[in-house]
Structure 1
Amino acid sequence: MSTLDPSVAIIEPGADNLEAPPLTLGQMTWRRFRRHKMALAGTVVIILLFLYAFGGALIFTEAEANFTDTGLRLTAPTGTHLFGTDTVGRDILIRTIYGGQISLLIGLTAVILETAIGVLVGAIAGYYGGIVDAILMRFTEAALNIPQLFLLIVMAKFFGGTIPDMTVLGRTFSGSVIVI
Protein backbone atom coordinates (compact mmCIF):
# COMPACT_ATOMS: atom_id res chain seq x y z
CA MET A 1 0.00 0.00 0.00
CA SER A 2 1.27 3.45 -0.91
CA THR A 3 1.06 6.55 1.16
CA LEU A 4 0.56 10.08 -0.06
CA ASP A 5 3.48 12.38 0.24
CA PRO A 6 2.16 15.79 1.41
CA SER A 7 5.04 17.59 -0.26
CA VAL A 8 3.98 16.41 -3.74
CA ALA A 9 1.10 18.42 -5.16
CA ILE A 10 -1.50 16.34 -6.97
CA ILE A 11 -2.91 19.35 -8.82
CA GLU A 12 -0.68 22.18 -9.81
CA PRO A 13 -1.69 25.59 -8.48
CA GLY A 14 -3.65 27.61 -11.02
CA ALA A 15 -4.51 24.55 -13.13
CA ASP A 16 -8.20 24.63 -12.28
CA ASN A 17 -8.90 28.05 -13.70
CA LEU A 18 -12.71 28.20 -13.64
CA GLU A 19 -13.09 31.68 -15.08
CA ALA A 20 -15.44 31.85 -18.05
CA PRO A 21 -14.49 34.11 -20.92
CA PRO A 22 -16.26 37.48 -20.71
CA LEU A 23 -19.51 37.82 -22.63
CA THR A 24 -19.69 40.17 -25.58
CA LEU A 25 -22.28 42.93 -25.75
CA GLY A 26 -24.25 40.93 -28.31
CA GLN A 27 -24.29 37.84 -26.08
CA MET A 28 -25.45 39.85 -23.07
CA THR A 29 -28.18 41.51 -25.15
CA TRP A 30 -29.38 38.17 -26.55
CA ARG A 31 -29.40 36.60 -23.07
CA ARG A 32 -31.43 39.49 -21.63
CA PHE A 33 -33.81 39.45 -24.62
CA ARG A 34 -34.46 35.70 -24.21
CA ARG A 35 -35.42 36.21 -20.57
CA HIS A 36 -38.02 38.87 -21.43
CA LYS A 37 -41.17 36.87 -22.28
CA MET A 38 -43.18 39.80 -23.68
CA ALA A 39 -40.34 40.75 -26.02
CA LEU A 40 -40.22 37.18 -27.31
CA ALA A 41 -44.00 37.12 -27.78
CA GLY A 42 -43.91 40.44 -29.64
CA THR A 43 -41.11 39.20 -31.88
CA VAL A 44 -43.07 36.05 -32.70
CA VAL A 45 -46.15 38.14 -33.56
CA ILE A 46 -44.15 40.46 -35.84
CA ILE A 47 -42.50 37.52 -37.59
CA LEU A 48 -45.90 35.86 -38.10
CA LEU A 49 -47.33 39.10 -39.53
CA PHE A 50 -44.44 39.40 -41.99
CA LEU A 51 -44.81 35.73 -42.97
CA TYR A 52 -48.55 36.20 -43.45
CA ALA A 53 -48.24 39.35 -45.53
CA PHE A 54 -45.19 38.53 -47.62
CA GLY A 55 -45.43 34.73 -47.60
CA GLY A 56 -49.08 34.87 -48.65
CA ALA A 57 -48.07 36.87 -51.70
CA LEU A 58 -46.13 33.81 -52.87
CA ILE A 59 -49.35 31.79 -52.88
CA PHE A 60 -51.87 34.38 -54.11
CA THR A 61 -51.40 36.91 -56.90
CA GLU A 62 -52.47 40.53 -56.81
CA ALA A 63 -54.90 39.78 -59.63
CA GLU A 64 -56.69 37.37 -57.28
CA ALA A 65 -56.90 40.12 -54.65
CA ASN A 66 -58.72 42.39 -57.10
CA PHE A 67 -60.84 39.71 -58.79
CA THR A 68 -64.54 40.49 -58.34
CA ASP A 69 -67.37 37.98 -58.54
CA THR A 70 -70.65 39.71 -57.74
CA GLY A 71 -72.31 36.32 -57.40
CA LEU A 72 -70.28 35.73 -54.24
CA ARG A 73 -71.10 39.02 -52.49
CA LEU A 74 -70.86 38.98 -48.68
CA THR A 75 -70.49 35.21 -48.34
CA ALA A 76 -69.53 33.65 -45.03
CA PRO A 77 -66.14 31.97 -44.64
CA THR A 78 -65.89 28.76 -46.69
CA GLY A 79 -63.14 26.39 -47.78
CA THR A 80 -62.36 28.47 -50.86
CA HIS A 81 -62.73 31.87 -49.15
CA LEU A 82 -61.37 31.42 -45.62
CA PHE A 83 -62.32 34.94 -44.47
CA GLY A 84 -65.39 35.21 -46.72
CA THR A 85 -65.98 37.84 -49.39
CA ASP A 86 -66.71 41.56 -49.35
CA THR A 87 -69.53 43.61 -50.91
CA VAL A 88 -68.25 43.14 -54.47
CA GLY A 89 -67.22 39.49 -54.14
CA ARG A 90 -63.48 39.87 -53.50
CA ASP A 91 -61.71 37.38 -51.24
CA ILE A 92 -61.05 39.10 -47.90
CA LEU A 93 -58.12 36.81 -46.98
CA ILE A 94 -56.15 37.76 -50.09
CA ARG A 95 -57.01 41.42 -49.66
CA THR A 96 -55.74 41.39 -46.05
CA ILE A 97 -52.49 39.82 -47.26
CA TYR A 98 -51.86 42.61 -49.76
CA GLY A 99 -53.19 45.29 -47.39
CA GLY A 100 -50.87 43.94 -44.69
CA GLN A 101 -47.89 44.40 -46.99
CA ILE A 102 -48.68 48.07 -47.46
CA SER A 103 -49.32 48.60 -43.74
CA LEU A 104 -46.11 46.86 -42.69
CA LEU A 105 -44.04 48.78 -45.24
CA ILE A 106 -45.52 52.10 -44.12
CA GLY A 107 -44.90 51.24 -40.46
CA LEU A 108 -41.34 50.08 -41.14
CA THR A 109 -40.60 53.19 -43.19
CA ALA A 110 -41.99 55.44 -40.45
CA VAL A 111 -39.89 53.71 -37.78
CA ILE A 112 -36.70 53.94 -39.85
CA LEU A 113 -37.32 57.59 -40.74
CA GLU A 114 -38.15 58.66 -37.19
CA THR A 115 -35.18 56.73 -35.80
CA ALA A 116 -32.84 58.41 -38.27
CA ILE A 117 -34.21 61.86 -37.43
CA GLY A 118 -34.04 61.15 -33.69
CA VAL A 119 -30.46 59.89 -33.89
CA LEU A 120 -29.41 62.90 -35.96
CA VAL A 121 -31.05 65.45 -33.65
CA GLY A 122 -29.73 63.64 -30.56
CA ALA A 123 -26.21 63.44 -31.97
CA ILE A 124 -26.18 67.14 -32.83
CA ALA A 125 -27.60 68.08 -29.42
CA GLY A 126 -25.11 65.82 -27.65
CA TYR A 127 -22.10 66.99 -29.65
CA TYR A 128 -22.69 70.73 -29.39
CA GLY A 129 -24.53 70.78 -26.06
CA GLY A 130 -25.40 74.03 -24.31
CA ILE A 131 -27.72 76.39 -26.17
CA VAL A 132 -27.93 74.15 -29.27
CA ASP A 133 -29.07 71.25 -27.10
CA ALA A 134 -31.65 73.43 -25.34
CA ILE A 135 -33.06 74.77 -28.62
CA LEU A 136 -33.25 71.34 -30.26
CA MET A 137 -34.95 69.84 -27.21
CA ARG A 138 -37.56 72.63 -27.16
CA PHE A 139 -38.32 71.96 -30.85
CA THR A 140 -38.56 68.25 -30.08
CA GLU A 141 -40.96 68.88 -27.20
CA ALA A 142 -43.09 71.16 -29.38
CA ALA A 143 -43.24 68.55 -32.14
CA LEU A 144 -44.30 65.87 -29.66
CA ASN A 145 -47.10 68.10 -28.35
CA ILE A 146 -48.73 68.75 -31.73
CA PRO A 147 -51.62 66.31 -32.22
CA GLN A 148 -50.76 63.82 -34.98
CA LEU A 149 -54.11 64.06 -36.79
CA PHE A 150 -53.95 67.85 -36.96
CA LEU A 151 -50.39 67.64 -38.29
CA LEU A 152 -51.44 65.13 -40.97
CA ILE A 153 -54.32 67.35 -42.09
CA VAL A 154 -52.04 70.38 -42.39
CA MET A 155 -49.41 68.34 -44.27
CA ALA A 156 -52.06 66.98 -46.64
CA LYS A 157 -53.19 70.52 -47.38
CA PHE A 158 -49.70 71.77 -48.21
CA PHE A 159 -48.22 68.66 -49.84
CA GLY A 160 -51.41 67.23 -51.38
CA GLY A 161 -50.49 67.39 -55.05
CA THR A 162 -46.71 67.41 -54.81
CA ILE A 163 -45.94 63.90 -53.53
CA PRO A 164 -44.66 61.75 -56.42
CA ASP A 165 -45.53 58.08 -56.90
CA MET A 166 -42.76 55.68 -55.94
CA THR A 167 -42.03 52.04 -56.64
CA VAL A 168 -40.54 49.90 -53.87
CA LEU A 169 -39.89 46.18 -54.29
CA GLY A 170 -42.06 46.07 -57.40
CA ARG A 171 -45.06 47.79 -55.78
CA THR A 172 -46.16 51.28 -56.76
CA PHE A 173 -47.26 53.56 -53.95
CA SER A 174 -49.45 56.47 -54.96
CA GLY A 175 -48.41 59.87 -53.70
CA SER A 176 -51.92 61.27 -53.96
CA VAL A 177 -53.53 62.61 -50.82
CA ILE A 178 -57.22 63.38 -50.57
CA VAL A 179 -57.74 66.89 -49.24
CA ILE A 180 -61.16 67.57 -47.75
Structure 2
Amino acid sequence: MSAIDTGLAGIPSAPRQTIWQLRRKRFLRNKPAVIALAILVTLTALCVLAYPYSLLMGLDPNETNLLMRFRPPTATHWLGTDSLGRDVLLRLMYGGQVSIAVGVLGTLLTALIGILIGVWAGFLGGKVDAFLMRLTDVVIALPMTPVLIVLGAVDLSKLGLSQALASSPGVVFLRIVVIIALVDWTTIARITRAATIEVRQREYVKAATVSGARHLYNVLVHVLPNITTPITVAATLSVGRIILFESTLSFLGFGIVPPTPSWGNMLTNAQELIISAPALAVYPGLLIFLTVISVNFVGDGIRIAFDPRSEK
Protein backbone atom coordinates (compact mmCIF):
# COMPACT_ATOMS: atom_id res chain seq x y z
CA MET A 1 0.00 0.00 0.00
CA SER A 2 1.43 3.40 -0.92
CA ALA A 3 1.92 6.30 1.47
CA ILE A 4 -0.84 8.22 -0.28
CA ASP A 5 -3.30 5.37 0.22
CA THR A 6 -2.24 5.06 3.87
CA GLY A 7 -2.76 8.76 4.44
CA LEU A 8 -6.15 8.80 2.80
CA ALA A 9 -7.24 5.76 4.77
CA GLY A 10 -6.81 7.70 7.99
CA ILE A 11 -9.16 10.50 6.91
CA PRO A 12 -12.71 9.82 8.06
CA SER A 13 -15.19 10.08 5.21
CA ALA A 14 -18.17 12.39 5.57
CA PRO A 15 -21.44 10.57 6.25
CA ARG A 16 -23.54 10.23 3.13
CA GLN A 17 -26.94 11.88 3.16
CA THR A 18 -30.06 10.79 1.34
CA ILE A 19 -31.87 13.17 -0.98
CA TRP A 20 -34.66 13.59 1.59
CA GLN A 21 -32.17 14.51 4.31
CA LEU A 22 -30.72 17.16 2.02
CA ARG A 23 -34.18 18.52 1.23
CA ARG A 24 -35.07 18.66 4.90
CA LYS A 25 -31.89 20.61 5.66
CA ARG A 26 -32.66 23.09 2.90
CA PHE A 27 -36.21 23.51 4.16
CA LEU A 28 -35.12 24.02 7.79
CA ARG A 29 -32.68 26.73 6.67
CA ASN A 30 -35.64 28.66 5.29
CA LYS A 31 -36.84 30.45 8.44
CA PRO A 32 -40.04 31.97 6.97
CA ALA A 33 -41.11 28.53 5.75
CA VAL A 34 -40.42 26.94 9.13
CA ILE A 35 -42.38 29.64 10.96
CA ALA A 36 -45.24 29.30 8.47
CA LEU A 37 -45.28 25.53 8.97
CA ALA A 38 -45.45 26.01 12.74
CA ILE A 39 -48.42 28.37 12.29
CA LEU A 40 -50.20 25.85 10.05
CA VAL A 41 -49.62 23.01 12.51
CA THR A 42 -50.90 25.16 15.39
CA LEU A 43 -54.03 26.23 13.49
CA THR A 44 -54.75 22.66 12.41
CA ALA A 45 -54.28 21.34 15.95
CA LEU A 46 -56.67 23.98 17.34
CA CYS A 47 -59.30 23.06 14.75
CA VAL A 48 -58.94 19.34 15.50
CA LEU A 49 -59.53 20.07 19.20
CA ALA A 50 -62.92 21.69 18.50
CA TYR A 51 -65.00 18.73 19.68
CA PRO A 52 -63.03 18.11 22.93
CA TYR A 53 -63.19 21.85 23.61
CA SER A 54 -66.97 21.90 23.12
CA LEU A 55 -67.36 18.99 25.58
CA LEU A 56 -65.04 20.62 28.10
CA MET A 57 -66.85 23.96 28.00
CA GLY A 58 -70.33 22.51 27.53
CA LEU A 59 -70.94 24.55 24.35
CA ASP A 60 -72.66 23.88 21.03
CA PRO A 61 -71.36 25.80 17.98
CA ASN A 62 -74.87 26.08 16.48
CA GLU A 63 -76.93 26.66 19.62
CA THR A 64 -78.43 30.16 19.64
CA ASN A 65 -79.15 32.26 22.72
CA LEU A 66 -80.45 35.74 21.96
CA LEU A 67 -79.94 36.76 25.59
CA MET A 68 -76.17 36.25 25.13
CA ARG A 69 -75.73 38.32 21.95
CA PHE A 70 -72.48 40.27 21.48
CA ARG A 71 -71.04 39.33 24.87
CA PRO A 72 -67.38 40.29 25.42
CA PRO A 73 -64.75 37.63 26.14
CA THR A 74 -65.36 35.73 29.37
CA ALA A 75 -64.06 32.59 31.06
CA THR A 76 -66.71 30.58 29.19
CA HIS A 77 -66.64 32.40 25.87
CA TRP A 78 -62.98 33.22 25.29
CA LEU A 79 -63.62 35.35 22.19
CA GLY A 80 -67.14 36.42 23.12
CA THR A 81 -70.39 35.61 21.31
CA ASP A 82 -71.84 36.55 17.93
CA SER A 83 -75.16 38.08 16.85
CA LEU A 84 -77.05 34.90 17.77
CA GLY A 85 -75.28 34.27 21.07
CA ARG A 86 -73.05 31.49 19.74
CA ASP A 87 -69.49 31.02 20.96
CA VAL A 88 -67.14 32.69 18.47
CA LEU A 89 -64.01 30.65 19.28
CA LEU A 90 -65.80 27.32 18.94
CA ARG A 91 -67.33 28.32 15.60
CA LEU A 92 -63.90 29.45 14.38
CA MET A 93 -62.47 26.05 15.32
CA TYR A 94 -65.22 24.14 13.54
CA GLY A 95 -65.09 26.56 10.62
CA GLY A 96 -61.38 25.92 10.30
CA GLN A 97 -62.04 22.20 9.97
CA VAL A 98 -64.27 22.89 6.97
CA SER A 99 -62.00 25.45 5.31
CA ILE A 100 -58.79 23.43 5.74
CA ALA A 101 -60.52 20.20 4.68
CA VAL A 102 -61.77 21.92 1.51
CA GLY A 103 -58.22 23.10 0.82
CA VAL A 104 -56.66 19.66 1.29
CA LEU A 105 -59.31 17.55 -0.46
CA GLY A 106 -59.71 20.12 -3.21
CA THR A 107 -55.97 20.03 -3.82
CA LEU A 108 -55.93 16.22 -3.99
CA LEU A 109 -58.78 16.17 -6.54
CA THR A 110 -57.25 19.05 -8.47
CA ALA A 111 -53.90 17.26 -8.58
CA LEU A 112 -55.54 14.03 -9.73
CA ILE A 113 -57.31 15.73 -12.65
CA GLY A 114 -54.25 17.81 -13.56
CA ILE A 115 -51.87 14.83 -13.45
CA LEU A 116 -54.13 12.65 -15.61
CA ILE A 117 -54.51 15.33 -18.26
CA GLY A 118 -50.91 16.57 -18.12
CA VAL A 119 -49.27 13.14 -18.21
CA TRP A 120 -51.25 11.81 -21.15
CA ALA A 121 -50.92 15.06 -23.06
CA GLY A 122 -47.15 15.12 -22.57
CA PHE A 123 -46.54 11.41 -23.10
CA LEU A 124 -48.79 10.76 -26.10
CA GLY A 125 -48.28 14.10 -27.85
CA GLY A 126 -49.80 14.73 -31.26
CA LYS A 127 -53.54 15.21 -31.54
CA VAL A 128 -54.16 14.09 -27.95
CA ASP A 129 -51.77 16.73 -26.67
CA ALA A 130 -53.29 19.41 -28.91
CA PHE A 131 -56.84 18.60 -27.81
CA LEU A 132 -56.08 18.44 -24.08
CA MET A 133 -54.03 21.63 -24.13
CA ARG A 134 -56.73 23.53 -26.05
CA LEU A 135 -59.20 22.31 -23.42
CA THR A 136 -56.81 23.60 -20.75
CA ASP A 137 -56.56 26.97 -22.51
CA VAL A 138 -60.36 27.24 -22.62
CA VAL A 139 -60.63 26.65 -18.86
CA ILE A 140 -57.83 29.13 -18.18
CA ALA A 141 -59.60 31.76 -20.30
CA LEU A 142 -62.83 31.48 -18.28
CA PRO A 143 -63.36 34.24 -15.67
CA MET A 144 -62.83 32.34 -12.42
CA THR A 145 -65.19 34.09 -10.00
CA PRO A 146 -68.28 34.16 -12.30
CA VAL A 147 -67.73 30.49 -13.18
CA LEU A 148 -67.52 29.56 -9.50
CA ILE A 149 -70.72 31.51 -8.80
CA VAL A 150 -72.59 29.85 -11.68
CA LEU A 151 -71.49 26.35 -10.68
CA GLY A 152 -72.19 27.07 -7.02
CA ALA A 153 -75.71 28.23 -7.84
CA VAL A 154 -76.63 24.95 -9.58
CA ASP A 155 -79.58 23.33 -7.79
CA LEU A 156 -78.66 19.69 -7.25
CA SER A 157 -82.31 18.79 -6.65
CA LYS A 158 -82.92 19.53 -10.34
CA LEU A 159 -80.28 16.91 -11.20
CA GLY A 160 -82.12 14.03 -9.52
CA LEU A 161 -81.10 14.38 -5.86
CA SER A 162 -83.74 14.80 -3.19
CA GLN A 163 -84.03 18.23 -1.61
CA ALA A 164 -82.93 16.91 1.78
CA LEU A 165 -79.87 15.20 0.33
CA ALA A 166 -78.94 18.14 -1.90
CA SER A 167 -78.94 20.52 1.07
CA SER A 168 -77.14 18.18 3.50
CA PRO A 169 -73.78 19.45 4.83
CA GLY A 170 -71.84 16.48 3.40
CA VAL A 171 -73.17 16.93 -0.14
CA VAL A 172 -72.66 20.70 0.00
CA PHE A 173 -69.08 20.15 1.15
CA LEU A 174 -68.35 17.66 -1.65
CA ARG A 175 -69.98 19.97 -4.19
CA ILE A 176 -67.64 22.79 -3.22
CA VAL A 177 -64.61 20.51 -3.52
CA VAL A 178 -65.69 19.25 -6.97
CA ILE A 179 -66.55 22.75 -8.25
CA ILE A 180 -63.15 24.12 -7.27
CA ALA A 181 -61.32 21.11 -8.72
CA LEU A 182 -63.14 21.48 -12.04
CA VAL A 183 -61.77 24.99 -12.57
CA ASP A 184 -58.40 24.85 -10.82
CA TRP A 185 -56.62 21.85 -12.37
CA THR A 186 -55.03 23.76 -15.22
CA THR A 187 -51.82 24.86 -13.46
CA ILE A 188 -50.90 21.35 -12.35
CA ALA A 189 -51.83 19.97 -15.79
CA ARG A 190 -49.46 22.32 -17.62
CA ILE A 191 -46.62 21.74 -15.15
CA THR A 192 -47.12 17.96 -15.38
CA ARG A 193 -47.18 18.07 -19.19
CA ALA A 194 -43.91 20.00 -19.36
CA ALA A 195 -42.20 17.63 -16.92
CA THR A 196 -43.55 14.58 -18.76
CA ILE A 197 -42.24 15.78 -22.12
CA GLU A 198 -38.78 16.24 -20.59
CA VAL A 199 -38.78 12.74 -19.03
CA ARG A 200 -40.20 11.13 -22.19
CA GLN A 201 -37.06 12.11 -24.10
CA ARG A 202 -34.72 10.22 -21.76
CA GLU A 203 -32.92 7.14 -22.97
CA TYR A 204 -34.35 4.66 -20.47
CA VAL A 205 -37.91 5.58 -21.48
CA LYS A 206 -37.07 5.15 -25.16
CA ALA A 207 -35.36 1.83 -24.38
CA ALA A 208 -38.41 0.60 -22.49
CA THR A 209 -40.65 1.61 -25.40
CA VAL A 210 -38.47 -0.20 -27.91
CA SER A 211 -38.51 -3.27 -25.66
CA GLY A 212 -42.28 -3.39 -25.96
CA ALA A 213 -43.34 -1.65 -22.74
CA ARG A 214 -46.91 -0.35 -22.86
CA HIS A 215 -47.75 3.31 -22.37
CA LEU A 216 -49.35 2.69 -18.96
CA TYR A 217 -46.24 0.84 -17.75
CA ASN A 218 -43.96 3.65 -18.89
CA VAL A 219 -46.17 6.28 -17.24
CA LEU A 220 -46.42 4.44 -13.91
CA VAL A 221 -42.83 3.18 -13.68
CA HIS A 222 -40.71 5.74 -15.52
CA VAL A 223 -42.62 9.02 -15.77
CA LEU A 224 -44.59 9.61 -12.58
CA PRO A 225 -41.74 8.78 -10.13
CA ASN A 226 -39.53 11.34 -11.91
CA ILE A 227 -41.99 14.25 -11.98
CA THR A 228 -43.11 14.17 -8.35
CA THR A 229 -41.03 17.24 -7.44
CA PRO A 230 -42.79 19.86 -9.62
CA ILE A 231 -46.18 18.28 -8.90
CA THR A 232 -45.59 18.38 -5.14
CA VAL A 233 -44.58 22.04 -5.25
CA ALA A 234 -47.53 23.02 -7.46
CA ALA A 235 -50.01 21.10 -5.30
CA THR A 236 -48.70 22.71 -2.12
CA LEU A 237 -49.15 26.18 -3.55
CA SER A 238 -52.69 25.25 -4.64
CA VAL A 239 -53.93 24.70 -1.07
CA GLY A 240 -54.00 28.38 -0.17
CA ARG A 241 -55.68 29.33 -3.44
CA ILE A 242 -58.42 26.72 -2.93
CA ILE A 243 -59.08 27.94 0.62
CA LEU A 244 -59.54 31.41 -0.85
CA PHE A 245 -61.95 30.03 -3.46
CA GLU A 246 -64.04 28.38 -0.74
CA SER A 247 -64.04 31.58 1.28
CA THR A 248 -65.13 33.54 -1.80
CA LEU A 249 -68.00 31.14 -2.52
CA SER A 250 -69.14 31.15 1.10
CA PHE A 251 -68.82 34.94 1.27
CA LEU A 252 -71.06 35.24 -1.80
CA GLY A 253 -73.59 32.80 -0.37
CA PHE A 254 -72.85 29.85 -2.68
CA GLY A 255 -70.56 27.87 -0.39
CA ILE A 256 -71.00 26.14 2.94
CA VAL A 257 -74.59 26.66 4.10
CA PRO A 258 -75.20 28.04 7.62
CA PRO A 259 -75.51 27.07 10.41
CA THR A 260 -72.49 24.91 9.48
CA PRO A 261 -69.60 27.33 10.08
CA SER A 262 -66.74 28.06 7.73
CA TRP A 263 -64.41 31.04 7.83
CA GLY A 264 -65.97 32.32 4.61
CA ASN A 265 -69.60 32.33 5.76
CA MET A 266 -68.61 33.68 9.18
CA LEU A 267 -67.05 36.60 7.34
CA THR A 268 -70.26 36.98 5.33
CA ASN A 269 -72.43 37.06 8.45
CA ALA A 270 -70.18 39.71 10.01
CA GLN A 271 -70.14 42.14 7.09
CA GLU A 272 -73.27 43.96 8.31
CA LEU A 273 -71.81 44.20 11.81
CA ILE A 274 -68.45 45.65 10.81
CA ILE A 275 -69.16 48.90 12.68
CA SER A 276 -70.92 47.59 15.80
CA ALA A 277 -68.91 44.35 16.21
CA PRO A 278 -65.75 44.49 14.04
CA ALA A 279 -64.09 41.58 15.86
CA LEU A 280 -66.58 39.17 14.29
CA ALA A 281 -65.12 40.04 10.88
CA VAL A 282 -61.51 40.39 12.03
CA TYR A 283 -61.23 36.86 13.48
CA PRO A 284 -62.20 34.80 10.39
CA GLY A 285 -60.50 37.26 8.03
CA LEU A 286 -57.27 37.06 10.01
CA LEU A 287 -57.37 33.24 10.08
CA ILE A 288 -57.93 33.07 6.32
CA PHE A 289 -55.01 35.48 5.80
CA LEU A 290 -52.69 33.55 8.14
CA THR A 291 -53.56 30.19 6.62
CA VAL A 292 -53.17 31.27 3.01
CA ILE A 293 -49.94 33.18 3.48
CA SER A 294 -48.49 30.36 5.62
CA VAL A 295 -49.33 27.79 2.95
CA ASN A 296 -47.66 29.98 0.33
CA PHE A 297 -44.50 30.33 2.44
CA VAL A 298 -44.40 26.57 3.05
CA GLY A 299 -44.91 25.92 -0.65
CA ASP A 300 -42.08 28.30 -1.50
CA GLY A 301 -39.87 26.56 1.07
CA ILE A 302 -40.64 23.17 -0.48
CA ARG A 303 -39.84 24.54 -3.93
CA ILE A 304 -36.43 25.74 -2.73
CA ALA A 305 -35.78 22.50 -0.82
CA PHE A 306 -36.53 20.38 -3.89
CA ASP A 307 -34.32 22.51 -6.15
CA PRO A 308 -30.74 21.14 -6.28
CA ARG A 309 -29.47 24.55 -7.34
CA SER A 310 -30.36 25.90 -3.87
CA GLU A 311 -27.59 23.79 -2.29
CA LYS A 312 -24.59 25.96 -1.57
Is the counterpart of residue 175 in structure 1 residue 172 in structure 2? yes
Q: Deviations over 1:155-179 (max 9, x none)?
A: 235463246859xxxx952439878
SS of the equivalent of 2:80 reads: coil
Q: What pairs with 1:25-64 in structure 2 (closer than 5 Å)?
A: 25-61=19-55, 64=60
Instruction: Pick from 120, 123, 143 the counterpart of residue 119 of structure 2.
Output: 123
In 2, Cα distance between the equivalents of 1:148 and 1:159? 20
Residues 77, 172 of structure 1: alpha-carbon distance in 2 compared, 3 angstrom cutoff: same
In 2, Cα distance between the equivalents of 1:38 and 1:147? 33
The alignment's C-alpha RMSD in Å is 3.1
Residues 157, 100 of structure 1: alpha-carbon distance in 2 compared, 3 angstrom cutoff: closer
In 1, Cα distance between the equivalents of 2:149 and 2:156? 10
Identity between Structure 1 and Structure 2 (%):
32
Unmatched 5+ residue regions in structure 2? 176-252, 255-312
Q: Deviations over 1:92-151 (max 9, x none)?
A: 111111111111111111111111111111211221123322332222222122122222
**Which runs of 4 or more aligned residues in structure 1 lie more than 6 Å from their structure 2 counterparts after TM superposition?**
176-179
SS of the equivalent of 2:26 reads: helix
Is the counterpart of residue 84 in structure 1 residue 80 in structure 2? yes
Residues 45, 138 of structure 1: alpha-carbon distance in 2 compared, 3 angstrom cutoff: farther
Q: Which has the larger radius of gyration?
A: 1
In 1, Cα distance between the equivalents of 2:126 and 2:133? 11
In 2, Cα distance between the equivalents of 1:64 and 1:157? 29
In 1, Cα distance between the equivalents of 2:148 and 2:156? 11
Answer 1 or 2: which has greater helix percent.
2
TM-score between the two structures when normalised by the length of structure 2: 0.47
Say which structure, 1 or 2, has more relative contact order (CA 8 Å, 6+ apart): 2
Unmatched 5+ residue regions in structure 1? 1-8
TM-score between the two structures when normalised by the length of structure 1: 0.77
Give the count of matched residue pairs.
167
Structure 1 range deviating more: 139-148 or 112-121: 139-148
